[in-house]
Chains A and B, each alone.
Chain A
Amino acid sequence: MIAIIDYGMGNLRSVEKGFAKVAIEAEITSDISVIDRAEAVVLPGVGAFRDCIRNLENLRLIDAVVRSIEKGKPYLGICLGLQILFTESEEFGLCKGLDILKGRVKRFPATDLKIPHMGWNTVKLKKTPPIMEGIEDESFFYFVHSYYVSPKDDDIVAGTTEYGIEFTSMIWKDNIFATQFHPEKSQRLGLKILENFGNLVKRAG
């Protein structure tokens, strides 16, 4: 079973329904024992970095999430679930993240481009993580965010996207998979990612 972490933010239901659509067992939870028992963790979410960390802290979920990752269980971070893995974010001054991955979350530079970066954009693959199996390079996915991650270690960058700058839109490091875009809102190809992740969890379990 996959635990979808409920910390009071974001459209969790879409993620749950996405897994259901591809016949993968997943459960929305904020129960630490359920997270500990789960074979994998999915952390979705849109909104503010600081609120996300604060809510996770208040619900005492950070340790459980970190523990799951450290045990080598597959992790799928979506949007904020990608960003909070990093050292810190520039959103509202500086806010500390989980620091599992080194790097900073930055705001898109002020240009003529509209912020938030909202809509469908392509992901250029630097690697082919198992969650991208059967998905072509430069496929379109749905984004909605004003901040992006700037990892210290280029090696963990699995995909990039152009929006004024070329930014990291997908991360892969060992058992950690994370996307800046929303697979649960990206129609067929997004569901394919959820299915791939589910299959990987089955293989790992």
Chain B
Amino acid sequence: MLAKRIIPCLDVKDGRVVKGVNFVNIRDAGDPVENAIYYDEQGADELVFLDITASHEKRKIILDVVEKTATDVFMPLTVGGGIRDLDDIRDLLNAGCDKVSINTTAVRDPEFIRKAAERFGSQCIVVAIDAKRVHDSRFEIDQERDIPDWLKVNKEMEYLTLSSQDTAAGVKRWEVFTHGGRRPRGIDAIKWARYMEELGAGEILLTSMDRDGTKDGYDIELTRAVSEAVGIPVIASGGAGNLEHLYEAVTEGKADAVLAASIFHYREYTIKEAKEYLIRKGVIVRPV
């Protein structure tokens, strides 16, 4: 049986782990490679580097990080953040990463996902969706939406836009955000996920903007809605505060994998503890 995956995520800026934590096994807390090795030894199922380097000139640094990581760590590695063209993907894959996670560029130009999947294969194209719950009241008030141009001009794509009728009728909706969660795009997250699958995405990395950083648990309704809407694997992200949250995401939420940053990063739990907990609860995971 296919195991549910536990995926730690490291934020990397200018080649350094953000808020690196010193720990017995780690000499240099800011070194992404050392952190990757630590998670590898812990039995993480995959690893995600989220590159939050702001300047485009410094983007090459992540390639060096990937290359060094791939020398010592033999598990699937995903890199997200700042991917703008096919060459960015090619460079990352050549450096030794297995999948790339694309968010803003997919919203700016959905066809990019089709091209990327055709060129490199769906298996390495992860579409990251930052979704925020739409409340009826907010939907009407908040007019500051940055609706992408292709959506404004193409009538056939109109079905992707959030419908105020839906929200008024009490249907639960989530809106797609980009630019690290700062920009609402007027797109329905569930329909977007399905569209991305259609264009060739191999996996969805789904982050709840409402829960991210709260430690209140994943948005289970969102996770379940997206997971049931698509036929590709869904990674739940945003809100993990304890091990029960991981359990909820892969059971009620129907997620195929769970991504967590702070609970592992700050050593509140080890990957091993998380896996033992899930195994005790009857979830199939790869034992450490």
Contact = CB atoms under 8 A, between A and B. Distances in A.
Interface in A111-130: 114-122
Interface string B86-97: 000000011110
A186 B5 contact: no
A46 B256 contact: no
B7 to A, nearest CB: 10
Contact of A11 (B3, B43, B93, B256): B93
Contact of B71 (A17, A48, A185, A187): A17
B3 to A, nearest CB: 4
Main secondary structure of the interface of A (DSSP, over half): mixed
A16 to B, nearest CB: 9
Given A14-B74, A118-B202, A118-B203, A47 B45 contact: no
A13 B75 contact: no
Given A118-B202, A119-B233, A11 B98 contact: yes
Nearest to A191: B74
A13 B94 contact: yes
20 contacts: A14-B70, A17-B71, A17-B74, A21-B72, A21-B74, A48-B121, A114-B232, A114-B233, A115-B232, A116-B122, A116-B123, A116-B233, A118-B202, A118-B203, A119-B4, A121-B1, A144-B202, A186-B75, A187-B74, A187-B75
Interface of B: 1-5, 40, 43, 45, 70-72, 74-76, 93-96, 98, 120-124, 202-203, 231-234, 256-257, 286-287
Given A114-B232, A116-B123, A187-B40, 7 more contacts: A9-B121, A13-B70, A13-B94, A14-B96, A122-B1, A140-B286, A144-B76
